[in-house]
Amino acid sequence: MATLLYTIIGMTASASLNCAVRREISPCTCSPGLFANNIDVKCEQMESFGQVVNALQDRFTEDHNIWLTISHSQLLDLAALSFWEMNMNIKSLRINFDNLREEI
């Protein structure tokens, strides 16, 4: 029984280490992914893509695989900035219900 308890505590501690930057990435949030080194990051109701970049820039190491979702946000400045500026390993990107439009 003690071994099971130590295993659960160890899994919880290692999972929380992956999202040790919770306060620094606010208003975005993060949670451990299904596999080791995978982190689910969600940014909702962002005022600009610049706000996303500022929140996430240099917050995760190269060995973290980031599954990024940006939703219900104003990303009108997306063309002016780059995902490279965040300096993180984005494995999956979902952009849902954001104010995107083609400039003519």
Angle at 82 between CA 79 and CA 84, to 5 degrees: 165
Q: How many domains does the chain have?
A: 1
Which pair of structure tokens corresponds to residue 66?
Answer: 């980031």
Containing domain of residue 38, as a range? Answer: 28-96
Considering the entire predicted model, what is its pTM?
A: 0.77
Question: Is 32 domain-assigned?
Answer: yes
Identify which of 44, 43, 17, 53 has the alpha carbon closest to the alpha carbon of residue 32. Answer: 17
Question: Is 43 domain-assigned?
Answer: yes
Terminal Cα distance for the chain, rounded:
65
Tens digit of pLDDT at every position of the chain (104 positions): 544 433 443 444 344 446 777 888 999 999 998 888 899 999 999 999 999 999 999 999 889 999 999 999 999 898 888 999 999 999 999 999 988 876 65
